[in-house]
Amino acid sequence: MKSLYEALPAVEIGGRKLVGHVLFGLLILISAVVGAASGLLLVYSTDLPQVDELERYRPSSVTELYDGQGRIIGTFALQRRVIATYDDYPEVLRNALVSIEDKDFYLHSGINFWRIAGAAYRDIESGGKVQGASTLTMQLARNLFLSPDRSFHRKIQEALLAIQIERRFTKPQIFTLYANQIFLGHGAYGFEAAAEYYFSKPATKLTLAEAALLAGLPKAPQYYSPINHPDRAQKRRNLVLNAMLEDGKITAAQAADAKSKPVLLSLQKDPNSLAPYFVEEIRRYLEGKYGSDQVHEGGLRVYTSLDMDMQKTARQAVLDGLAAYERRHGWRGNLPNVVTQGEKLDKYEDPDWDEDPEINGYQHALVTGVSSGDAQIRLGQRMATISQADAAWTKLKVPNFLSRGDIVYVKVFSLDGGGKARVSLEQDSGVQGALVAIDNTTGEIKAMVGGRDFNLSKFNRATQALRQVGSSFKPYVYTAAIDQGATPDDTILDEPVTFQTPSGPYIPHNYDDKFEGTITLRRALAFSRNIPALKLADRVGIRTVIEYAHRFGITSTLPPYLPVALGSAEVTLLEQTSAFSVFPNDGVRIAPRYITRVTDYEGRVLEEDFPDIKDVIGSRTARTMTSMLREVVLHGTAVAAAKMPYPLAGKTGTTNDFTDAWFVGFSPTLTCGVWIGYDEKKTLGEKESGARAALPLWMQFMDGALAGKDPGEFQAPPASTSPATAQKLDTPDSAPGHD
């Protein structure tokens, strides 16, 4: 029997063999694991997109429309996104986002293994799928290239892409791509767009509290929406502030101060709401030329002719003018009622409530209750009261004509911080108005209102509605006569007359059914006498008159019948307004323009519009006609405008049965046309002439548009029509206007 010492070598040899077997087994296991992992990586990476696409990547961005002073008046976009640079994002926002989303962003190479391991352990414990722990780079990879599902397969691909992105791009580049791409709720993509939407300011102006609130949104934009869930948004914001404090990015005092602030938003107003009819005209043109994808995703820059200040004045003038018309005709009732329609008051939302009401603006409101002396109404998040004084013009008691659930139309006079508003009761019976203003020297459209409410009707009554122009057509008749040798001081007989036409005898009459006898052409135009205009048209030939109208830019069909001289033909407001700009422009017509320049995303000019100029009439005729149209304002049918401190001229227009009311007039620098009527061409009411219904709107607009500016002076008329000669033709300012 061998001793213990003699047996030791055998044990030693056996132990070495065992260790060898174990090591060999481990090597095989490691090889298998590595092989399996390599195989898995190969499988998961075979269909990965190429990261080098990022070098050419440009996200969908907003097409912006600017007015003549470079102010945004409209946008087109599938996604509200404004592309910004790394430096456009302030340090406070960068710190807030990194602290809450990816503390080691500037240290890791795309993946944070410790966070992934921790998240995986928690998910295995809970039986869920791998989720969470994504770095900013991984989130960017997912948002750009992958589906939003939370599978293990997607997570592996996300990690692989993140590594590639980190190898190819710098941290500032990655941050910028992420900050421009991420969805932050309510259609806003990227932090620049979100800052503008939620706070009406660029990201560079964000406060600590605002930056922290935005940084908290990527986790769940809808759940933490500061609009729909301000309490959740505030809690999430404070969590971001705590993370920044832990990371040493802010002091305790700064954190406490920011936490003490309520969630205060200043939602960006929809820029398209200022001039929706004008913006819609631009959209249709751009889509026809560049295609819908380029317009809504290509980030075009469209420089338009509009003047934001004039547009605001125009919109207010139209709405105020329609309100004045409504009040003249008394309360008509027939209000829609949500209760009778089966809706609940607390569930009702009006399209007007998409934006906070504006002072002096008009909105629809919901009557939530009626008491013995007033009615309570709701305008979105605001409440107001309609007192008896606010409805005095109706000459009715509030409880007798308003009911709970009625939809009423109001004008907003003031707003307070407590969610209250002061309003007056107005009415929307369906009457419509339109206005166009054009710069005489450039043809640029400076203001356009196509109707009362774009939300209710997108039909543009300034460009699409063909309406009878009434006596505003007469200047073409007088232009033809003056161009053929007549003078303003020539006389004509205003008396009953019968014209023989192919369809039989035509017996016209004047507006007042009276006749003035022998009068000058100047007076005949100033007081819009029908008989003299028809005699002149018959003398020069109605086809000649129509030919002149076409030279002025009227493209609508004008049948060669004598009544066309009185405006029986249908023309658009834009055509008529542009045509009238020939008179103050010394006989030159400049085609109306919406757009001055269009550039692409990179700033390359795609198109540049230059004025289209044509000679229409000689300067002598243009100045003579301007002096005659000046008489319309000084002593004729538009005498109400004579008190305005500017040189003005124009012509009223009224159609049979008062279905259309017009005034088209001009200063030396600006031409403006106004129309009022119903879409269905029903009467506006007795005596609702151009002078009564349309002229006040025109005056309100021109007074605001010309205020503080040099109005210029009209060119002096030829010697034969000098002011001295015209003086003997003056009539008292109290003379009745006929049109």
Residue 607: pLDDT above 90?
Answer: yes
Q: What pLDDT digit, counting tens, does each position of 115-133 carry?
A: 555 555 455 454 444 445 6
Residue 378: pLDDT above 90?
Answer: yes
Tokens of 400: 């007798």
Containing domain of residue 151, as a range? Answer: 74-271
Q: What pLDDT does residue 718 have? A: 80
Report percent pLDDT > 90 for the chain. 70
Phi and psi dihedrals of 180, rounded to 5?
-85, -20
| Residue 548 vs residue 54, higher pLDDT | 548
Domain-located, residue 370? yes
| Residue 261 vs residue 122, higher pLDDT | 261
Tokens of 597: 């320049």
Q: What pLDDT band is residue 7 in, cutting at 50, 70 and 90?
A: very low
For residues 695-722, give the mean pLDDT. Answer: 89
Q: Do 591 and 671 sit in the same domain of this protein? A: yes
Catalytic annotation, pick one of 61, 64, 99, 101: 101
Tokens of 565: 């001289």
Domain-located, residue 152? yes
User: 363-377: b or e for each residue (b if 16 or more CB lie within 10 Å)?
Assistant: bbbbbbebeeebbbb
To the question of pTM greater than 0.85 for the whole model, the response is no
Query: What is the secondary structure of 312-376 as a DSSP string?
Result: HHHHHHHHHHHHHHHHHT-------BTTTTT--GGG---GGGGS---TT-EEEEEEEEE-SSEEE
Q: What pLDDT does residue 140 have? A: 84
Q: Do 643 and 678 sit in the same domain of this protein? A: yes
Domain boundary (373, 404, 426) is at 426
Q: What pLDDT does residue 602 have? A: 84
In 407-524, DSSP assigns E strands to: 407-415, 420-426, 432-439, 445-449, 467-468, 491-494, 499-501, 504-506, 517-520
Instruction: Flag the least confident range among 100-114, 118-132, 287-301.
Output: 118-132
For residues 167-193, give the mean pLDDT. Answer: 91
Contact 137, 158 (CB under 8 A): no
Q: What pLDDT digit, counting tens, does each position of 419-437 carry?
A: 899 999 999 999 999 999 9
Contact 54, 169 (CB under 8 A): yes
Q: What pLDDT band is residue 22 in, cutting at 50, 70 and 90?
A: low
CB atoms within 10 A of CB 466: 13
Q: What pLDDT does residue 437 have? A: 98
Q: What pLDDT digit, counting tens, does each position of 78-94 carry?
A: 888 888 999 999 999 99
For residues 309-326, give the mean pLDDT. Answer: 98
Q: What pLDDT does residue 151 have? A: 53
- Sign of the four-CA dihedral 116, 121, 123, 127: positive
Domain-located, residue 512? yes
Domain-located, residue 414? yes
Q: What is the CATH number of the domain that holds 380?
A: 2.40.50.140
Q: Do 531 and 635 sit in the same domain of this protein? A: yes
Q: What is the CATH number of the domain that holds 100?
A: 1.10.3810.10
Domain boundary (426, 457, 478) is at 426
Q: Do 136 and 202 sit in the same domain of this protein? A: yes
Q: What pLDDT does residue 156 have? A: 72
Q: What pLDDT digit, counting tens, does each position of 673-682 carry?
A: 999 999 999 9
Residue 29: pLDDT above 90?
Answer: no
What does the alpha-carbon distance between residue 409 and residue 427 come to, in Å, rounded to a whole number?
5
| Residue 123 vs residue 706, higher pLDDT | 706
Q: What pLDDT does residue 195 have? A: 96
Q: Do 29 and 118 sit in the same domain of this protein? A: no
Residue 54: pLDDT above 90?
Answer: no
Domain-located, residue 43? no
Q: Do 409 and 465 sit in the same domain of this protein? A: no
How many folded domains does the chain comprise? 4
Catalytic annotation, pick one of 134, 471, 472, 528: 471
Q: Do 27 and 128 sit in the same domain of this protein? A: no
Instruction: Flag the least confident range among 145-149, 279-283, 725-729.
Output: 725-729
With H, G, I as helix, E, B as strand and everything else as coil, classify residue 408: strand
Nearest to 322 by CA among 247, 409, 419, 412: 409
Among left, alpha and beta (phi > 0; psi -120 to 50; other), residue 353 is alpha
| Residue bearing tokens 């009457």 | 431
Domain-located, residue 293? no
Q: What pLDDT does residue 59 have? A: 72
Domain boundary (377, 408, 426) is at 426
Tokens of 127: 């039986």
With H, G, I as helix, E, B as strand and everything else as coil, classify residue 67: coil
Domain-located, residue 296? no
| Residue 168 vs residue 153, higher pLDDT | 168
Q: What pLDDT does residue 381 have? A: 87
Q: Do 404 and 459 sit in the same domain of this protein? A: no
Q: What pLDDT band is residue 328 in, cutting at 50, 70 and 90?
A: very high
Q: What pLDDT does residue 184 have? A: 95
Instruction: Flag the least confident range among 131-140, 362-371, 667-676.
Output: 131-140
Q: What pLDDT does residue 143 have? A: 77
Tokens of 659: 């279905």
Residue 386 β-bridge partners: 375
Q: Do 20 and 167 sit in the same domain of this protein? A: no
Q: Do 421 and 476 sit in the same domain of this protein? A: no
547 is catalytic: no
Q: What is the CATH number of the domain that holds 613?
A: 3.40.710.10
Q: Do 485 and 625 sit in the same domain of this protein? A: yes
Residue 667: pLDDT above 50?
Answer: yes
Q: What pLDDT does residue 122 have? A: 54
Q: What pLDDT digit, counting tens, does each position of 453-471 carry?
A: 998 999 999 999 999 999 9
Domain-located, residue 102? yes
Q: What pLDDT does residue 688 have? A: 97
Q: What pLDDT does residue 434 have? A: 98
Mean pLDDT over each residue of the chain, to the nearest integer: 88
Q: What pLDDT digit, counting tens, does each position of 531-583 carry?
A: 999 999 999 999 999 999 999 999 999 999 999 999 999 999 999 999 999 99
Q: What pLDDT digit, counting tens, does each position of 506-520 carry?
A: 999 998 899 999 999
Residue 155: pLDDT above 80?
Answer: no
Q: Do 537 and 617 sit in the same domain of this protein? A: yes
Q: What pLDDT does residue 5 have? A: 39
For residues 668-694, give the mean pLDDT. Answer: 97
Query: What is the secondary structure of 218-283 as a DSSP string?
Result: TT-TTTT-TTT-HHHHHHHHHHHHHHHHHTTSS-HHHHHHHHTS-----PPP-GGGTSHHHHHHHH
Q: What pLDDT does residue 109 have? A: 77
The angle at the Cα of 450, spanning 444 to 453, to the nearest 5 degrees, equals 140
471 is catalytic: yes
Q: What pLDDT does residue 417 have? A: 79
For residues 49-63, give the mean pLDDT. Answer: 69
Residue 162: pLDDT above 90?
Answer: no
Residue 45: pLDDT above 50?
Answer: no
